[in-house]
Amino acid sequence: ADAKGESGPLAGKHILVTAGPTHEPIDPVRVIANRSSGKQGFAIARAAAAAGARVTLIAGPVSLPTPPGVGRIDVETAVQMRDAVMGALPADAAIMVAAVADWRVEVADSKLKKGKGPPALEWHANPDILAELGEHPDRPGLLVGFAAETNDVVTNAKGKLERKKADWIVANDVSGNVMGGDNNRIHLVSADGVDDWEDLPKSAVAQRLIEKIAESIA
Ligand code: CTP
Ligand code: CA
């Protein structure tokens, strides 16, 4: 279904992409969610497949069609996403675009009832999937994180680059109102420095990132 088939710049490469939010259940009918649309991650998976890569897209709950030529695994929670990512290794590159919930709560077996009053939720930290990949014996050759930041965009991204042992952080300035929108303002942060991109549609961000990845892992 994809134009370049097995002859593009990423032919023979396995690319792992996470996308969308995670949902963390509270009880059988309720979840804790976030506003990630999955659009940027899906655009990256599409561009990678069009460049000839074998693509594994691990997606949280989103309402988006699977891009042509992409192998998709649907998950709900951060723990499920972590297990799916680790199960999909090895990969030549991993691009972690998902907005993974930082915490989950102890799940009630039955529906919490209003009459009992506001529940006291017991919180637990979720696994940091990107950081686990950074230290994994099968660490992908190129490890790319995303960071949506409202302030100190580049400083925060540099901190994440080091803490998570990533190669690149694609820092996304969300000080405007871009969650769910069609454009992104990117600062690509790596050990080599910072590359500031102009405001671009998510499809163009995906295209440019995949071109850079192809150069890097060729
Ligand atoms: N990430 C991950 N697993 C998590 C949290 C984040 O894999 N449990 C990944 C994201 O997919 C992204 C990168 O780490 O590629 C940065 O996510 P972000 O939420 O910005 O970083 P945090 O370390 O969670 O910091 P904070 O939310 O406090 O800014
Ligand atoms: Ca976070």
The whole-number average pLDDT for the span 178-191 is 85
**One-letter identity of residue 31:** V
Conformational region of residue 38, where left means phi above 0, alpha means psi within -120 to 50, and beta covers everything else? left
Q: What is the DSSP letter of 21?
A: B
The residues placing their C-beta within 5 Å of ligand 2, an ion, are 102
pLDDT of 181 higher than 80: no
The ligand 1 atom at the shortest distance from the C-alpha of residue 145 is 15
Q: Quote the Cα angle for 156-161-163, to 5°.
A: 90
Ligand 2 centroid distance, CA of 98 (Å): 10
Name the token pair of 100: 């993974």
Mean pLDDT of the chain: 95
34 classed as catalytic = yes
SS3 content of the chain, % helix, strand, coil (to 5): 30, 30, 45
**One-letter identity of residue 97:** V
Residue appearing with tokens 């990423």:
10
ipTM: 0.99
- Strands 14-19, 54-59: parallel, antiparallel or unpaired by DSSP? parallel
pLDDT of 3 higher than 70: no
Task: Residue 186: name the closest of 170, 174, 202, 201 by CA.
Answer: 170
The predicted pLDDT at position 180 comes to 65
Distances 50 to 54, 90, 97, 107 between C-alpha atoms, Å = 10, 21, 18, 40
pLDDT tens-digit readout, 41-58: 999 999 999 999 999 999
Name the token pair of 33: 């969610």
Conformational region of residue 25, where left means phi above 0, alpha means psi within -120 to 50, and beta covers everything else? beta
With a 6 Å cutoff on the Cβ, whether 102 touches ligand 1 is yes
Name the token pair of 37: 């649309």
Element (H, E) at 168: strand 168-173
The answer to the question of whether 164 is labelled as a binding residue is yes
pLDDT tens-digit readout, 93-125: 999 999 999 999 999 999 999 999 999 999 999
The pTM of this model reads 0.95
The predicted pLDDT at position 179 comes to 64
Task: Residue 149: name the closest of 125, 185, 101 by CA.
Answer: 185
- Strands 70-74, 54-59: parallel, antiparallel or unpaired by DSSP? parallel
